[in-house]
Structure 1
Amino acid sequence: MPNRKIHFQSPRQLSELYCGDQDNLDLLESTFHATVVSRDNWVQIDAVKESSIDAVADVFELLLEGREQGLSVKKADFQKTVAGVSAGKQDELRSLFERGTVIKTKRKSIVPKTLGQKQYLRSVFENDIVFGIGPAGTGKTYLAMAAAVSLLIEGKVERIVLSRPAVEAGETLGFLPGDLQEKILPYLRPLYDALNDMLSPSDIEKLTERGIIEIAPLAYMRGRTLSNSFVILDEAQNTTSEQMMMFLTRLGEGSRMVITGDLTQVDIPKHRSSGLLEVKNILKGLKGINFHFFEAGDVVRHHLVQKIIQAYDRYRDTHQ
């Protein structure tokens, strides 16, 4: 029976590629009808067909390339790579893994940590409108912000517009202290926090004063045309159908939009349907518009966050 042994730099490097998870090796075996044995810093592949050995080798080669580009391989990344190779999409995967995706901002360089994040960023740079949908901690808003800042620094857009719907999630605005601006600020705080990671406070202040960076509630977008801008709508699951249409039709020449949201965190009244949920069906298939769906495996916060999201998903599936 044909076989091949592949050596790696260390046992740790090999373990990182398949997450040290025997289930991942079992997936390789069942998908490509091969036997995969891992020992120390090598893996041996046995199969009846040489093409099966090549396919398994491609999986490890691609993951190694991704690891060298800063990818922190997770189980979801491993499974996506196996599925891609099985579907004959090695070239597509290789273009994702080989071309390092590093977003440079004034304060730091940002590297996507999962295959899902790499695919999302590519989509953001290649489409005029992108929807990033998925659970908390997947980086959907943070990466969109990084792309916006990068394009602003490069002079490819003239300004950044950041928006959120000011939905009262358990508190009433009227009872919060302060004037209207102070009442709204807590809803926009996460956008400021992300921005502070990428630009100095003085740069943010100057750019905001000049209107080059604008952070405003969704209600302030009505009646405007946003040209030569990078526009981000965060927490879009809390838009109504009318608000979503209003926002999308603000798109002007030379602009691009990223709309992010988590469909499990809808805070609008139950008698109103989420504009983000509805728009999936309305705009599906339109050229220049892309929907990217993050999974629990794309979560890059504390490892327990991913497990919490998966537990909630199982609970919802059981109690639907």
Structure 2
Amino acid sequence: MTSTDISPPSMNTARLLEFQDNRLLIDLCGAYDAHLAAIEKTLGVQIVRRGNQLSLIGDDDATARAETVLNALYARLEGGRTVEPADVESMLRMGDSAAGTGVRAGDQIEMPILDGIEIQTRKKRVEPRTAAQKDYVQSLFDNELAFGIGPAGTGKTYLAVAVGVSMFIGGHVDKIILSRPAVEAGEKLGYLPGDMKDKVDPYMQPLYDALNDFLPGKQLAKLLEDKKIEIAPLAFMRGRTLSNAFVVLDEAQNATSMQMKMFLTRLGEGSRMVITGDRTQIDLPRGVPSGLQDAERLLKTIPKISFNYFTSKDVVRHPLVAAIIEAYEADTGHS
């Protein structure tokens, strides 16, 4: 890929980028040039595509940052990886961080491509998109007990389930157990119809959604039928010893202190346990302390237990989710 500055110094910069592989350029631009549109909107530049060239028009700082983002994404494609909207958003956030450190137009901005960690499942290859996610995934492989704490949309549960599926496929564990407290999110749903499974499944649906992303439907149904994969409310964990299993407790901020202690002491030989939660979304009755906060306070100094933290910068859902989280964080003093 080559870059040429074709503008006079007094005018907006017009940088001309040339890409050798037209097929990779198509992926770089995205469906209906959606990736280019996202870069244009975020950085305030205009990107004009002609053949295998992209012309970047805007002020010097903005076009330099746009060039760096496009270079990083193209290098990702050359390395055999895909580029999705979340990857573009992640690169743009990294570029914003770099821009705040005194980077001048034309300087090379170091934008990390998170090589070395990939999670292989039956349906797709998953990789962390931010530095915090990379550290989190690494800790899931390295530690028997790991916590992932942060706001919604940061991939805490999704990555934990992906690692669990990968370890199950690789024969490192014999089963996957996914659990959540069956606590309503701030509203009373009343009595739900059906048998016990019908009653608890609505609470467990996000876990089913994650599994469906990683395993073919028929295989997932068979594994659920054979109880190689179990999805159950936290209350169902009492009295069990979970050996040779990959165990995930999701929405752990809604577990009471007694429930958390009960769950943590289920850890058996050959098992790994992941606890995920968001301290800002506690739905327990007023005055009932969160088991996640207690566990964080009590277990911080114990070796081989990792605590991994996420912020709005790690959100990989729609870009608006990060903005919403930041707005609520800024207003915490007024609630």
Instruction: Calculate the TM-score normalised by the size of structure 2.
Output: 0.71
Q: What's the CA shift for 1:286?
A: 1.4
Counterpart among 180, 200, 216 of residue 216 in structure 2 = 200
2:90 aligned with 1:75: no
Contact 1:116 1:298 (C-alpha < 8 Å) held by counterparts: yes
- Structure 1's 74 and 233: CA in aligned 2 closer, same or farther, altered over 3 A? farther
Q: After superposition, what is the alpha-carbon deviation per residue over 1:45-64, rounded to whole angstroms, capped at 9, x for unaligned?
A: xxxxxxxxxxxxxxx89x95
Q: What's the CA shift for 1:155?
A: 0.7
Find the residue that maps to 1:132 and give its secondary structure: strand
Unaligned runs of 5+ in 2: 6-14, 19-27, 30-37, 45-59, 102-109
- Structure 1's 168 and 40: CA in aligned 2 closer, same or farther, altered over 3 A? closer
Task: Say which structure is richer in helix.
Answer: 1
- Structure 1's 235 and 215: CA in aligned 2 closer, same or farther, altered over 3 A? same
Q: What's the CA shift for 1:38?
A: 4.6
Percent pairwise identity: 50
After superposition, residues 52-91 of structure 1 pair within 5 angstroms as 64=72, 68=76, 72-75=90-93, 79=97
After superposition, residues 79-228 of structure 1 pair within 5 angstroms as 79=97, 97=113, 99-172=115-188, 174-228=190-244
After superposition, residues 227-306 of structure 1 pair within 5 angstroms as 227-306=243-322
Distance in 2 separating the partners of 1:123 and 1:9: 42
Distance in 2 separating the partners of 1:169 and 1:142: 20
Find the residue that maps to 1:175 and give its secondary structure: coil
Q: What's the CA shift for 1:128?
A: 1.0
Q: What's the CA shift for 1:79?
A: 3.9
Q: What's the CA shift for 1:97?
A: 4.8
Contact 2:65 2:95 (C-alpha < 8 Å) held by counterparts: no
Distance in 1 separating the partners of 2:240 and 2:189: 25
1:319 maps to 334
Distance in 1 separating the partners of 2:246 and 2:201: 21
One-letter identity of the residue aligned with 2:93: K
One-letter identity of the residue aligned with 1:177: P
Distance in 2 separating the partners of 1:211 and 1:217: 15
Instruction: Calculate the TM-score normalised by the size of structure 1.
Output: 0.74
One-letter identity of the residue aligned with 1:75: R
- Structure 1's 77 and 128: CA in aligned 2 closer, same or farther, altered over 3 A? farther
1:3 maps to none
- What value does the CA root-mean-square deviation take over the aligned residues? 3.4
